Structure 1
Amino acid sequence: MAPSTLAGTIARKGLLRDYVAIMFGSFIMAVGIAVFLVDAKVVPGGVSGLSMAVHYLSGNKVPVGLTMWLFNIPLYIWGIRELGKQFGVRTLVGFTTNAFFIDLLRGDVPGLGSIRLHEHPAIVHLRESDFLFLILIGSVLLGLGLGIIFKFRGTTAGSDVLAAVGQKRWGLKPGVVFMVVDSLVITFAGFAIHLRGLDTERPALTLSLYAFFLLFVSSHLVDVIIDGFDYARSAIIISSKPEEIAHHVVEDMGRGAT
């Protein structure tokens, strides 16, 4: 086999592996949202949280996954225009499969309505008897799935687009964008839950506090999956142009170099 053919085969296998991993991460994330979080009324922020709020306002008639997909389409198009084609297929696969799996697991896909894992007696019992543990499981699944997606260079669109574009066009720090967007979504969802009278078991404010706890756990898990447990990494670069490389690392990447 010629070297070019071998390289092409390896590249295709690597690409296929990435897509399978992104879909697997999307499924894990969907389990966390569809099975553990939607009926608990604890929103994870971003487009998924906004879609859950719409679901509550509609009297649980509008599917969460479909709403997520519709919200993400204009953001996806905007992301491609602002960030280029590299934003492309992986993100489309990520948010499309995630939306599909959420509706599949909740029985909202036509012809597959019998799959309603959120109504399983074990999940219902957990929701009624150990609410904090339920939210913790949802947080871990959400963070694990999202971390896998990010690890293989995918995204689920949504707030990721806003953060990336905000950083590129206005120099905004992604963390600030996420914090503002998620806080607004959680607040809006709290009002939606209260407006629909869905806070009889737990006050809307309490559910909002659970939502911030959810974000804390899931975001830290994402960081662990992407970066590992080490807080610092170093690389030894051997080159005939050390000054140019050091300048690029320090000035353009914002890292340290010696």
Structure 2
Amino acid sequence: MKRIFAIVIGCLVTSIGVIFLKHSHVVTGGTAGLSLNLSYLTHFSFGTWFFLINIPFYIFSFVRMGWKFTLSTILAVTLLSIMTSLDHFLPSFTILSFPGAIAGGILIGFGLAYLFLNKASLGGANILALFCQKKWGWDPGKINFAFDVIVVLIGAYSVGLVSGLLSILSIAVTSYIISYFKHRIASSHDATVQTPPLQQSAS
């Protein structure tokens, strides 16, 4: 129950960050950024795109990270999709791009770090980052940043050059915060190392 509560808190903080970015017309990286880009270009909400895009990553997570991590990730993705969809009930407002990018990056960074510390993620690049940290000891913040920059560059045309640059600033802030907690994240995952399902069946 304590872990579920922690996942709810992590998703709540992250969802506020995503809403900040959306109302600043700034994108972020990973599957969240791709979902934001698609929400700008279509009539479907961020939450709908975010849930659908993550489905292939659930399979990878189950095979490489174990079923407990995968279930926590599915719970987190579902919660974030629901929480961000509540934005439709808020009155219309706009946030200046620069402070919105910084505030959104900070909130998403702390939200993701808290989820990582509680052995959950928000799918996509988060799963790959934690897998690479677990497998090779790579910095999850830097891995996320690399994926995020690619997504932001691809989607920059939907928000413009200035907002695209602010998007890179936002994900740099997010990545810095995640990197700050990298040793604690590694320790939390090493404390409950789980053998992936395929390895269990092979033994």
TM range (shorter): 0.7 to 0.9
Residue 151 of structure 1 contacts residue 226 of structure 1 at CA under 8 Å; is this kept in 2?
no
Rg comparison, structure with higher value:
1
Distance 1:17 1:178 in 2: 27
**Aligned residue for 1:139?**
105
What is the number of residues matched between the two proteins? 184
| 1:212-227 matches, cutoff 5 A | 212-224=168-180
- Could you list the runs of 5+ residues in structure 1 that have no partner in the other structure? 1-15, 108-114, 194-203, 229-258
Distance 1:139 1:19 in 2: 24
- Could you list the runs of 5+ residues in structure 2 that have no partner in the other structure? 185-203
Distance 1:45 1:184 in 2: 8
Is residue 64 from structure 1 mapped to residue 46 from structure 2 by the alignment? yes
Q: 1:23 deviation in Å? A: 0.8
When the two structures are superposed, what TM-score results if normalisation uses the length of structure 2? 0.79
Q: 1:192 deviation in Å? A: 3.1
Cα shift readout 1:117-162 (whole Å, capped 9, x = no counterpart): 5x24xxx3xx2xx432222221221112112211212111110223
Is residue 26 from structure 1 mapped to residue 35 from structure 2 by the alignment? no
Q: 1:84 deviation in Å? A: 2.4
Q: 1:222 deviation in Å? A: 2.8
Residue 145 of structure 2 contacts residue 175 of structure 2 at CA under 8 Å; is this kept in 1?
no
When the two structures are superposed, what TM-score results if normalisation uses the length of structure 1? 0.63
User: Which of residues 38, 53, 65 is equivalent to 1:54?
Assistant: 38
Cα shift readout 1:161-210 (whole Å, capped 9, x = no counterpart): 233556788x69456643442122101111233xxxxxxxxxx2211111
**Aligned residue for 1:37?**
21
More helix per residue: 1 or 2? 2
Identical aligned residues as a percent:
25
Q: 1:212 deviation in Å? A: 1.3
Greater relative CO, 1 or 2 (CA 8 Å, sep 6+): 2
- Relative to structure 1, the CA distance from residue 176 to residue 24 in structure 2 (aligned partners, 3 Å threshold; closer, same or farther) is closer
Q: Which amino acid aligns with 2:26?
A: V
Residue 141 of structure 2 contacts residue 177 of structure 2 at CA under 8 Å; is this kept in 1?
no
SS in 1 for 2:120: coil
- Relative to structure 1, the CA distance from residue 158 to residue 56 in structure 2 (aligned partners, 3 Å threshold; closer, same or farther) is same
